[in-house]
Every structure is written in C-alpha cells, then in structure tokens.
Amino acid sequence: MKISPYQLGDLIARHIQQKLSADESLRLLEWLNESPENQRLFDQLIQAEQVKNSFDFYDNLDVDGAWNKTVKKRNIRSIKRAAPYLGYAAAVAGLIFSFFIFFPKEQQPLPLQAKIVKGKDLLPGGEKAVLKLSNGEVVRLDEKDINISEYKGLHVYCKGGELSYSGTPAINNRVIYNTLTVPKSGTYRVVLADGTKVWLNSLSEMQFPVQFNQTQRSVKLTGEAYFEVAPDPLRPFLVEVNDNTIEVLGTHFNVNSYGTNMKTTLLEGSVKISNSFTHKIIAPGQEAHAEGKEILVGKGDLKKVLAWRNNEFYFKNETMPEVLGEISRWYGFEIKADQLENQKRFSGSINRNLKLSEVLKILHALSGYQFEFDGSALFIKKPKP
C-alpha cells in the first residue's frame, strides 16, 4: 500500500487523538500488516505517546506538549525545533523519517500477541432483538421488515432496526404488555405508543405497554437504555429498574443497570430517582448512582454515556476486566483468563465497527495483554513483567 510519510503521520496522529474513521482505521491496519518494520515503527511511536503503557488518547491534544514528550524519549533535538511549525501530523511524519536512524533494523519487534484461529474472527454486533407478544408468541427481529397483528386493532412494525406501533387496540382499558430483549452483540430501537423513543444496548430487556393508560406511562428495564421521553405534563413517565424508579415528564437520559447497581445520567430536562428509602432529583449533566439504599449524585461523563449510541467503546480510568466486559457484550464471546489485574487503568476509545481481531490488536498494542480467540472464547494472558 503506497502511503506518503505525511499521510502516515496524519493517520498515526489522528489515531493518538482518537479521531480515526472506520475507513482510516482499516487503512492504518493494512499498512501495519504489510511488514514487521511497519508494526515496529508504529509500536515505537505509540509508546512515545503513552503514559505508563495505557491508551490515554487526549481529547484536546497539546501539539507542543505531545511532541516534547516524544522528543524527550527519542532525543531528536533538530526536529524538536521544527515541530511547532509543522503541526502534529507533520511532526509524526518527521519522526517516521528519523525512526530507522535511531532504531537500527537489527532490533527486532516483539511479536503481536493477538491471534485469531483461522476462520474464527467475529464481525461487530448489529441490530437484532427478540419481541415477546402479549399472547406469548416470540418473534425474532433482524434486518427483515415485519408487520404483525399484535392485538385487535393494533399493528407492530419492524423496519430498519426500529420497532413501532400503530392503531388503537380495543382492550377496554386493560393494559397489555410486550417485552423486547436484546442479546449479546445487539442493539435495537423502539418507538412507544406515546412517541417516546428508546434505544436498548446489548444484554438489555424492556417490558412496556402497547398502549399507555390515561394516568401514567410506565416501563420496566434491565441492562442499559437511552430514553427520549415525549412530553406529557398530565402523565409522568416511569422507568422501573431493580428496586428503583425514575420519574420524568419529558427528557433525555441514559440508564445503565448492568449488575446490581443502577446509574442514571441526565442530558436534558429533570428526573427524580427514588427507592423505598430515599429520593434525589438530578439536573442536566448530573449522574445518580443507586447503590443499595443510597442514591449518590455527581457529575456525569456524557461522552462515556453516549459512546454506545455513537457506535464507540469509550473507556475512562477503567480496569482490563471492565474493558473486556464491555467488548464481550458487543461481540458475544466468553472470557477465559488468568487473573486479570485491577490496578492498571485504561482510557481511550475504539470504533465498534471493527472486527474483533482488529480490536484485539489495538488492545494488545496498548496494554501488553496477549489474546487468542478460538471462535467462542477469548483466552487472555497477562503481560510479562
């Protein structure tokens, strides 16, 4: 693959700044796979920008500061003087020109420990779910368009990864429910009868009425979902999660209830979180953690919360078990590992459109862990001291 030093410098700089598109990521990976020398160059450049071997890509990269770190580790004084005028991509390109002067070919790179058994790679997840109707019938939702008569006068539509309802069922004020279940490596959207939009993440489930009554709107959730609630001052919208209730009138918020605790992050409007012991009201930008009897309120990380909606993995000061837990939900594999340490923390983002093999290469380069995937399980070994 022909690529100029400046173009390569731009790709690596954008990689460090976590701004690569899916196409650019694949282009960089193609270049890496061309030769051991390319991999060696990339590893050295990336190491120069890492802090204690973590993948801490900066949101607002300081060109001079980042370059000074690189120069200090490489002792390249002539390029240092030119860097402020070149821009960061050109500075990386300059370092590429200088690389083989300072690192002779006799120095062999370490092998890339991210192996995929032939033919066992995994594609990223997609739009898939299972819908359980009020009569107990189970319908698999995938890329096909579906039109179902759910109840007399009511129709269910599935198109483009979105579930919606139309019609008015003759149910004489009796509330009937559907349940939407999203498996590993899946996401799905649903438009409720009142116009509220809900995005469900992997390993999530929501039970909801096909038609709300005249006094309130209520759904039950496990897992993670993002809500855009249709305003209705006369009917509050309630989300029941574990032993907690989230009450809103019209707002945008994310709920994460993987495990026993619940985290609610508010983007717009106002919500009240309550349980049998206490309640808290949070404002936009705040996050409520429901842990047992307590509800703790703090500042929310909106970039982290919205990452899955934006088709990204985003990690901030997280352990390797936490990182791999999120990745395994999306690709749908089992983790087989030595005891993973919880002391090292990692921050950064990875595009969720990549194949598993590509994600593993990135994780190895940035953490030192060794990975091997056999088609169903990911085997992991800790980095050597």
CATH code: domain of residue 306: 2.60.120.1440
- Check: CB of residue 171 under 8 Å from CB of residue 151: yes
Count of domains in the chain?
3
298 and 329 co-located in one domain: no
Examine residue 145 and state whether it is found in any structural domain, yes or no.
no
- Check: CB of residue 301 under 8 Å from CB of residue 319: no
Query: Which band of pLDDT confidence, cut at 50, 70 and 90, is reported for residue 114?
Result: low
376 and 319 co-located in one domain: yes
The pLDDT of residue 18? 67
331 and 372 co-located in one domain: yes
Q: What is the largest CA-CA distance in the chain?
A: 82
pLDDT in tens, 252-309: 999 999 988 899 999 999 999 999 999 999 999 999 999 888 999 999 999 999 999 9
Q: Which of 130-134, 141-145, 196-200 is predicted with the least confidence, judged by mean pLDDT?
A: 141-145
Question: What integer best gives the mean pLDDT of the chain?
Answer: 78
Examine residue 355 and state whether it is found in any structural domain, yes or no.
yes
26 and 81 co-located in one domain: yes
- pLDDT (mean) for 173-198: 92
What CA–CA distance (Å, rounded) separates 196 from 165?
A: 11
Q: Is the pLDDT of residue 39 over 90?
A: no
Residue where a domain terminates, one of 110, 134, 165? 110
264 and 347 co-located in one domain: no
Q: Is the pLDDT of residue 112 over 90?
A: no
Residue where a domain terminates, one of 110, 128, 152? 110
Rounded CA Rg of the chain: 24
The pLDDT of residue 2? 67
- Please name which of 277, 276, 282 lies closest in space to residue 247, comparing C-alpha atoms: 282
Q: Residue 260 belongs to what domain range? A: 233-310
pLDDT in tens, 61-71: 233 343 344 44
Q: Is the pLDDT of residue 193 over 80?
A: yes
- pLDDT (mean) for 75-102: 40
- Please name which of 15, 67, 60, 113 lies closest in space to residue 378, comparing C-alpha atoms: 113
Q: Is the pLDDT of residue 107 over 90?
A: no
Q: Is the pLDDT of residue 247 over 80?
A: yes
The pLDDT of residue 117? 63
31 and 96 co-located in one domain: yes
The pLDDT of residue 241? 95
Examine residue 177 and state whether it is found in any structural domain, yes or no.
no
DSSP string, 12-73: HHHHHTT---HHHHHHHHHHHHH-HHHHHHHHHHHHHT-STT-----SS--HHHHHHHHHHH
Examine residue 369 and state whether it is found in any structural domain, yes or no.
yes
Examine residue 141 and state whether it is found in any structural domain, yes or no.
no
Residue where a domain terminates, one of 310, 345, 362? 310
373 and 299 co-located in one domain: no
280 and 377 co-located in one domain: no
284 and 368 co-located in one domain: no
Examine residue 129 and state whether it is found in any structural domain, yes or no.
no
9 and 106 co-located in one domain: yes
101 and 38 co-located in one domain: yes
The pLDDT of residue 172? 59
Q: Is the pLDDT of residue 360 over 60?
A: yes
Examine residue 327 and state whether it is found in any structural domain, yes or no.
yes
Q: Which of 132-141, 160-169, 217-226, 257-266 is predicted with the least confidence, judged by mean pLDDT?
A: 160-169
10 and 86 co-located in one domain: yes
Q: Is the pLDDT of residue 77 over 60?
A: no
CATH number, position 330: 3.55.50.30
Examine residue 205 and state whether it is found in any structural domain, yes or no.
no
Q: Could you identify the residue written with the tokens 């039970």?
A: 207
